[in-house]
Amino acid sequence: MTNNKTILVAHREFIDNVKTKGFWIGILIFPILLTAMIIVPQLLEKTRSARQFAVIDQSGWVLDAVREGMIEDTARFVLAREATPEDESELNGLVGREELFAYFVIPPAPETSPAGARYVARNLADDALEDWFSGLVNTVVQERRLAQANLDPVLVRWVQEPVRFEARKIGASGEAEEVSLNDRIRQMAPVGFVYLLWVGVFIIAQMLLTNTVEEKSNRIIEVLLSSVSPVQLMAGKIMGVAWTGAAMLGAWLLSFFLVTKYVPAMLGAPASLDLSFILQDPLYLASFAVYFVLGYLLFAAILVSIGASVNTLKEAQNLMGPVTILLIVPLMAMMPIAQDPNGALAKILSWIPPFTPFVMMNRAAGPPPHVEYLGTTALLLVSIAVALWVAAKVFRVGILMTGKAPTPREILRWIRAPVGSVPGRR
Amino acid sequence: MQHALHVDRVTKRFGDFVAVNEISLAVPTGTIYGFLGPNGAGKTTTIRMVMSILYPDQGTITVLGNPVPEAVKDRLGYLPEEKGLYKKMKTGELITYFGRLKGMNGHDAKRRSVELLQRFGLGDWVDKKCDTLSKGMGQKVQILATLVHDPELIILDEPFSGLDPVNVELVRDVILALKKEGRTVIFSTHGMEQAEQICDKVLLIHKGKKILDGTLREVKASGPRTVIIDYDGGNGRVFEGLPGVERVNDSGKHAELTLNDRTDRQALLKALVDRITIHRFDTREPSLHEIFVRAVGGHVDE
C-alpha cells in the first residue's frame, strides 16, 4: 500500500515531466549537437575552395626544384602565378581584393642568406598554406646546402633519424600491450562521462527543486498530504524525477552510440571516428549507471529540502548558491584527475561524498583499486541515508510552512525536533 | 457507530505558541458540523490533526471509530483552505489521480471521476486542462476530487472563502447533497451565515480554546434573545428602566433590545405600548455572530 502510493506519485511526476517541452529539448539537443560537431568541420573542409597563391622567385632555382618534388595538392592549394619583383604592388592589390589568397617571396640566395623570405596574406589565421609551402622550400634549400658541403643527403637523414619510443601499457593480463588510438581515447573517455553525469545530475536535481517549489506554491501539497504521508510524497517525487533523468541520460547514451557509429560513415569519414566502442566498456557503463543514481540521490535530498523550505523560486536560487559551488569542484578537477587517475588529488576528492560519484567516474580509466571503490561507495551510501533522513524531516515541516523563508538556524531546529512536533518560529 | 469523529482534550503547540488548547468535540455520524471562529482560532490546525497531517501533542482523536486517524485516511475526504490544482493535468485525470491515491483501482477511479464531473455539470470538461477552468469550476473540481473515493467523512476547510454568491450556493448544495447520502460533513468557516443555514451542530473556537458547542438550537438557546422594535414618539429615554433588558441599541425609530433569560416579553410589550407607538415588535433568536461576539467578550479580530 505504502509503496503503491509512492509509485503513484512517482508515475504522475514522471508523466508530468515527460510532457514538458524542456524534456524533449533536453533529449534532442544532445544528438543534434553531437551530429553538428561531426558534420560541420567536414562540411567546412569540403566547401573551402582551393587557395590560390603566387610566388616571386628571386633565386631562379627554388621554385623549379620545389615543383620537381612537389606532391600536387590541387584540392587545397593552387600555384596561380609565377611573378617577378616588379609585380609585387599588383599582387598586393590582388591579395587585398581577395582574388589571390597569398604570395611568397623567395630571396635571391636562400641557401646562404634566408633573410628576405616573405609570406604576404590577408588572413594570417589560416596558416595551412604557409606551413605546406615553406616545408617544401626548406627541403630543397637543405638539400642544396648539403650538396654544397659535399654531404650525402642519405647519410644526413640517417644522422637526423630520431629514436621514437613506442608507447605500451600494462593491461589486465599483466603483459605490455600495444597502444592504439582507441586506447588513448579510452583513457580520456571518462572525462566525457563525468561531464554527462554532471549535466544529468544538475539538470534533473534542478527539475526536482522547481517542481517541489511549484507544488508548494500551487497549494496542492495539503490535498496530497491528506492521502499520502510526507515521506511517501518525497520519495515519490525523488523517484519520478529519477525516472525522468534516467530516460534523458539513456536517450543521450543511445544517441551517442548511434551518432558516432553511423554518422561518420555516412559522410565517408575514416572508421577511426567510430567512438561507439567506448560504450561497450562494462566498467564505464556500470560506473555511469551506479554513480548517476547515487549522485542524484545525494543532491536530490539536498534540493528537495531546499524546495520544501522556500516559497518562491527566487528564494530557492539564493539557497542554491552553495550547492552550485559544491558542484563546480568536480568539474574543475576533471582534467587533472583524468591525467592522473590514481594521484593524490583524485584519491582525496574520492572520499568527499558530494564529489565521490564524479571523481570515481573520472578515475575509471585508472581504474582505482577495489578497496577504494568499496570504501568510497560505502561512505557515499551512508551520506545518502543521512541526507535523505534530514530531507524527510525538513520536508515534513517545511512543506506546510508559508510566509518568510526559514533561516538556516530554523531549519536546524526542524531537523532536531522529534517527528510529529512542529518547532515554532522565532 | 455513534460518532464519525471524537476529539478528546487535544492540544497542539508550535514552539511556545499554543494553537489548539484542550479541545474536545464529538461529531455524530450523518450530520453537518461547523467549526466556527475567526482566522487564527485553531480551526485549520484541528482539521489537520484529524487528517493526520499534523499530530497532537496531547489528547486523542478517534476517527470513524479508529483511534489511529492515519489508518482511516483513505475513508476521509479533505478540501484544504489553500486550494490548488495541477494546472497541466486534465480535470478527469486529476480526479482519477486523487482517487487512486486514496487506494482506488485505476478503472474505478476513472469511471467515478467522469460520473462526478457529469453529475456536477462539468461533463464537457473531462479532457480540458485545469488551467482553463474558471475559479468557480476549479473549486468544484477540487471538491469533486475530495469525493471521488466515496468518503464517509468529508472535511472542508473554509469552502466558502473567496467565492461569489452563485458559487457559495453551489457549494452549499453539494454539502446538503452529501448529508442526504448519509455522509458526515465537517466544515470550517469564519463567516457565520452559511453555518447558520446548514449546520446541525457547531463548535465555536477562539484563540485555540473551545467556547461552546452543541446543536444549533442549543447554542442559540444559550445566547441572548433580542427584540426588534420599529416605533414613533417617545422622548429619547423610552427604553430606560425596563425590566429584564440587558442592552439597548436605539437608533431613534428602530431599536434592538437584548433580553436576559427570564424576561417576560408580554410584560415588556405592555410597558412599551404606554410609552410609544409601536409599528413592529419582533422577537427573534440571536444570530451566531451575536452569540460569538458575546462569548469572546465583544471583540473579534476578523
pLDDT tens-place values along chain A, 426 residues long: 456 889 999 999 999 888 888 889 888 888 888 888 878 877 777 777 778 889 998 888 888 888 876 666 666 788 888 888 888 888 888 888 888 889 999 998 888 888 888 899 888 888 888 888 888 888 888 888 888 888 887 888 888 888 888 777 776 666 776 667 777 777 778 888 888 888 888 888 888 888 888 888 877 888 888 888 888 899 999 999 999 999 998 898 888 888 877 777 776 666 555 666 777 778 888 888 899 999 999 999 988 888 888 888 888 888 888 888 888 899 888 888 888 888 888 899 999 999 999 999 888 887 888 898 999 999 999 999 999 988 888 888 888 776 666 777 777 777 776 665 555 543
Q: What is the pLDDT of residue A271?
A: 56
Average pLDDT over residues B110-128: 89
pLDDT-derived band at B300 (thresholds 50, 70, 90) equals very low
Is pLDDT above 80 for B91? yes
Q: What is the pLDDT of residue A37?
A: 82
Nearest chain A residue to B48 by CA: give it: A226
Chain A partners within 8 Å of B87 (Cβ): 218
Q: How many degrees, rounded to 5, is the angle at CA B67 between CA B66 and CA B68?
A: 90
- Phi, psi for B159 (deg, rounded to 5): -70, -15
Q: What is the pLDDT of residue A274?
A: 61
Question: Shortest Cα distance from A275 to chain B (angstroms)?
Answer: 41
Question: How many other C-beta atoms are found inside a 10 Å radius of the C-beta of residue A257?
Answer: 16
CA torsion B245→B248→B252→B256, rounded to 10°?
A: -80
Nearest chain B residue to A397 by CA: give it: B54
Nearest Cβ partner of A227 from B48, B79, B98?
B98
CB-based contact (8 Å) between B97 and chain A? yes
Average pLDDT over residues B168-192: 88
Question: How many other C-beta atoms are found inside a 10 Å radius of the C-beta of residue B249?
Answer: 12
Question: Shortest Cα distance from A226 to chain B (angstroms)?
Answer: 6
| pLDDT averaged over every residue in chain B | 86
- In this predicted model, which residue has the larger pLDDT, B298 or B266? B266
Chain B partners within 8 Å of A225 (Cβ): 51, 53
Q: If 0-12 CB within 10 Å is exposed, 13-18 middle and 19+ buried, where does residue A289 land?
A: middle
Residues A227, B82: C-beta atoms closer than 8 Å: no
Percent of chain B topping pLDDT 70:
97
What is the DSSP track for B221-262?
A: HHS-EEEEEEEE---S-TTTT-TTEEEEEE-SSEEEEEE-TT
What is the three-class DSSP state of A340?
A: coil
Residues A228, B101: C-beta atoms closer than 8 Å: yes
According to DSSP, the residues that pair with B36 across neighbouring strands are B189, B204
Question: Shortest Cα distance from B97 to chain A (angstroms)?
Answer: 8
What's the rounded Cα separation, in Å, for the pair A185 and A181? 6
Window from A357-371, A394-408, B105-119, B270-284 with minimum mean pLDDT? A394-408
Is pLDDT above 60 for B123? yes
CB-based contact (8 Å) between A11 and chain B? no
Chain B partners within 8 Å of A5 (Cβ): 101
B34: left (phi over 0), alpha (psi -120 to 50) or beta: beta
Nearest Cβ partner of A223 from B12, B88, B98?
B98
Question: Shortest Cα distance from A248 to chain B (angstroms)?
Answer: 21
Nearest Cβ partner of B17 from A16, A221, A424?
A424
pLDDT-derived band at B302 (thresholds 50, 70, 90) equals very low
pLDDT-derived band at B87 (thresholds 50, 70, 90) equals confident
Give me the long-range contacts of A257-265 (CB less than 8 A, separation at least 24): A258/A31, A259/A31, A259/A34, A259/A35, A259/A38, A260/A34, A260/A38, A263/A35, A263/A38, A263/A39, A264/A38
Helices (H), B37-133: 43-50, 91-101, 106-119
Q: What is the pLDDT of residue B301?
A: 44
Residues A12, B97: C-beta atoms closer than 8 Å: yes
Average pLDDT over residues B184-195: 86
CB-based contact (8 Å) between A223 and chain B? yes
Q: What is the ipTM of this complex?
A: 0.77
